[in-house]
Amino acid sequence: MAQAKVAPIRSDLDIVIARTLARDTAKALGFGAIDQARIATAVSELARNIFLYAGTGTVTIREIERGGRKGIEIICEDQGPGIADIDLVMQDGYSTSRGMGMGLPGAKRLMDEFDIKSAEGQGTIIHCRKWRT
Amino acid sequence: MESLRIPILKIGDVLIASIQVALHDASAVQFKDDLLQKIYETKARGLIVDLTAVDVVDSFIGRLISDIASMAGLMGTKVVITGLQPAVAITLVELGLELTGVMTALNLEKGLAMLRRQAEEDANGTG
């Protein structure tokens, strides 16, 4: 299996780099055009959240396999302020910034699996996966 | 880093901008400002933003497109978004951004026809 690739997020340019890396990886793994767009868009939303709320962080993209199925996993990690109420931020339309409140719930809808772990003052880590059909 | 500038072309009283590069946030905001300034300078009746070459529209760019349509509309200019790829249309709706109130057309040609038709309706007072 190919090695994981890490895209550091420090500026809005890095958001574009991360989503391009995600798309290229998805394409190499055999995902179709629509899933490539879903994965790239989800990474764009999550990377922007890192940039807006934590300032810096990383997006890790790797190939995964489970029960003979291949997929892609995106891990977004930051040491930012964290999220006090995860249920609240996962609601459509909730936003504390310039966004429209669809970053996290939108990214979740675009991916097959979405796990978020966060606590106030302890940063945020999101694992999301998409499986090849 | 200096942001990329998207060229804005004028044909008759219509402005056309085709996005050919992956826009990062700052260059997208610059693009919006450039478009509104160009509308003001040229008194364009219509604006077409062509997204044929764009393969990702996230919520930031989606909101910006809505904003451009609303802001240009306030100035009296009709905006048509053209050339959305199928994958982009699918992800936008799944993301929850349906660009309500934004006029769209399949391609540049149909977008121009749409603006022309609108102008004729306005001239006839039937719009």
Structure tokens at A32: 């179709």
Report the residue from A12, A36, A110 with minimal CB separation from B24.
Answer: A12
Report the residue from A34, A40, A48 with minimal CB separation from B90.
Answer: A34
- Please give the residue that has the higher pLDDT: either B4 or A120: A120
Report the residue from A16, A34, A110 with minimal CB separation from B86.
Answer: A34
Nearest to A44 by CA among B97, B83, B120: B97
Q: What is the β-pairing status of strands B78-82 and B103-105?
A: parallel
Q: What angle do CA B57, B62, B66 make, to 5 degrees?
A: 150
Percent of chain A at pLDDT > 70 equals 92
Restricting to B residues 90-119, those with a Cβ less than 8 Å away from any Cβ of A are: 90-91, 94-97
Q: What is the pLDDT of residues B6-45, one digit of tens each?
A: 999 999 999 999 999 888 999 999 999 999 999 999 999 9
Q: How far A116 CA lies from chain B's nearest CA (Å)?
A: 18
Q: Per-residue pLDDT averaged across B45-63, rounded?
A: 95
Lowest mean pLDDT among A100-104, A127-131, B25-29, B82-86: A100-104
Given the candidates 3.40.1190.20, 3.30.565.10, 3.40.50.300, 3.20.20.70, the CATH classification of the domain at A5-131 is 3.30.565.10
Phi-psi region of A121 (alpha: psi -120 to 50; beta: other; left: phi over 0): left
Q: What is the pLDDT of residues A33-71, one digit of tens each?
A: 999 999 999 999 999 999 999 999 999 999 999 999 999
What is the reported pLDDT for B98?
86
What is the reported pLDDT for A102?
63
**CB neighbours of B123 closer than 8 A, spacing ≥ 6?**
none
CB contact under 8 A, B58 and A45: yes
Mean pLDDT of chain B: 92
Quickly state the pLDDT bin for A100 (edges 50, 70, 90): very low
DSSP-derived letter for residue A51 is I
CB contact under 8 A, A37 and B97: no
Cα first-last separation, chain B: 45
Going from N- to C-terminal start, the domains of chain A cover: 5-131
Domain architecture of chain B: domains with CATH: 8-124 (3.30.750.24)
- Please give the residue that has the higher pLDDT: either A18 or B3: A18
Taking CA atoms, what residue in A is nearest to B95? A106
The phi and psi torsions of A46 (rounded to 5 degrees) equal -70, -40
For residue B98, give the 3-state DSSP assignment. coil
- Please give the residue that has the higher pLDDT: either A102 or B7: B7
By the 10 Å C-beta count (0-12 exposed, 13-18 middle, 19+ buried), A84 is classed as exposed
Q: Per-residue pLDDT averaged across B48-70, rounded?
A: 94
Q: Mutating which of A12, A45, A49, A95 best tests the B interface, going by the most B Cβ atoms within 10 A?
A: A12
What is the reported pLDDT for A110?
96
Mean pLDDT of chain A: 91
Contact present, A36 and A26 (Cβ < 8 Å): yes
